[in-house]
Amino acid sequence: MINVTNQISRRSLLATAGIAGLASSISTNLMAGHHEKANQLSLPKGTTILFQGDSITDAGRDKKKQIANQQKALGGGYAWMAASHLLIKNPQLNLTIHNRGISGNKVHQLANRWDKDCLDLKPDILSIMIGVNDIWHGLNGKYEGTVKTYEDDFLSLMERTRKALPKTQFVICEPFVLRCGAVNEKWFPEFDRYRAAARKVADQNNATFVPFQSMFDEAVQYAPPKHWAGDGVHPSSHGASLMAHFWTQSVQA
């Protein structure tokens, strides 16, 4: 039985999973989506990549020594794994990869530190993974924002970014949860509205969309939810590795 987190069938999730630059040469029949053409990220020599987000991106990185490309500064999650795959596979590209994710962040907290932690770094590729705290902190009474707050704040952040960095390529990662740990029925169907908002933000900003929820909905066929994320929110090393694989496919497409 597939763990589908909304009313969309697994097949239609998979059908849209291939859009927006994610298709590998062997999965072209997943390409049928609502986009007319897939966004494909270019990765020329000297590309600077920035990962932004919350604890899933942060993953214990050392914030005192923010040295590009080094594991300690990039943490232990999907951002570091994706970075290491790209760096080690393509030494000739001389990539520069940063991580500025901070645990607990919601969209408005990214905005508060955006000049220093994004615009000043002038990334050629900017990847944003944000949203789970926007709903989670609401569910546990710590935050009054709604899905409309999330979408409005995210659209505003992207508009500001596009104006400051008109040539930057964007990656927006789908918020996801696994049905275990801290994630219970109270999250739904509200969580699916946050996912839909993230996709809308991606679509309106010509961003590559990495469909992590669709990926994990498929993944639970092969291992239980807790294998991928013990508390349902923070990925294990196996969950992070899978995310890194899908993320790098999006830039290598």
Burial of 139 (0-12, 13-18, 19+ CB in 10 A): middle
Q: Of these, 48, 66, 90, 146, which contacts a second copy (CB under 8 A)?
A: 90
43 binds a second copy (CB under 8 A): yes
89 binds a second copy (CB under 8 A): yes
Q: Residue 82 CB, nearest distance to a second copy (Å)?
A: 9
Which residues within the stretch 224-243 sit at the binding site for a second copy (CB under 8 A)?
Answer: 227, 237-238, 240-242
Closer residue to a second copy in complex, CB, 69/146? 69
Site string for a second copy, 107-126 (x = CB under 8 A): --------------------
Q: Of these, 3, 66, 71, 146, which contacts a second copy (CB under 8 A)?
A: 71
Which residues within the stretch 19-38 sit at the binding site for a second copy (CB under 8 A)?
Answer: 24-27, 29-30
**What is the phi/psi pair of residue 41, to 5°?**
-80, 135
Q: Segment contacting a second copy (CB under 8 A): 128-136, 165-173, 178-186, 215-223?
A: 215-223
96 binds a second copy (CB under 8 A): no
Is 158 within 8 Å of 170 (Cβ atoms)?
Answer: yes
DSSP letters of 130-195? --HHHHHHHHTTS----HHHHHHHHHHHHHHHHHH-TT-EEEEEPP---SSTT--GGGTTHHHHHH
Quote the CA–CA distance of 20 and 102 in Å, as a whole number.
Answer: 26
Q: Segment contacting a second copy (CB under 8 A): 74-82, 107-115, 151-159, 162-170?
A: 74-82
Closest to 150 measured CA to CA, from 160, 138, 140:
138
Q: Residue 71 CB, nearest distance to a second copy (Å)?
A: 4
66 binds a second copy (CB under 8 A): no
- The angle that helices 212-219 and 237-252 make with each other, rounded to 10 degrees, is 130
Closest to 251 measured CA to CA, from 210, 205, 192, 206:
210
Burial of 240 (0-12, 13-18, 19+ CB in 10 A): buried
Quote the CA–CA distance of 21 and 170 in Å, as a whole number.
Answer: 11
- Six-digit token pair at 160? 């500001």
Q: Segment contacting a second copy (CB under 8 A): 48-56, 141-149, 196-204, 244-252?
A: 244-252
Q: Applying CB under 8 A, which residues contact a second copy?
A: 14, 24-27, 29-30, 43, 69-72, 76, 80-81, 84-85, 87-93, 215, 218-219, 221-223, 227, 237-238, 240-242, 244-246, 248-249, 252
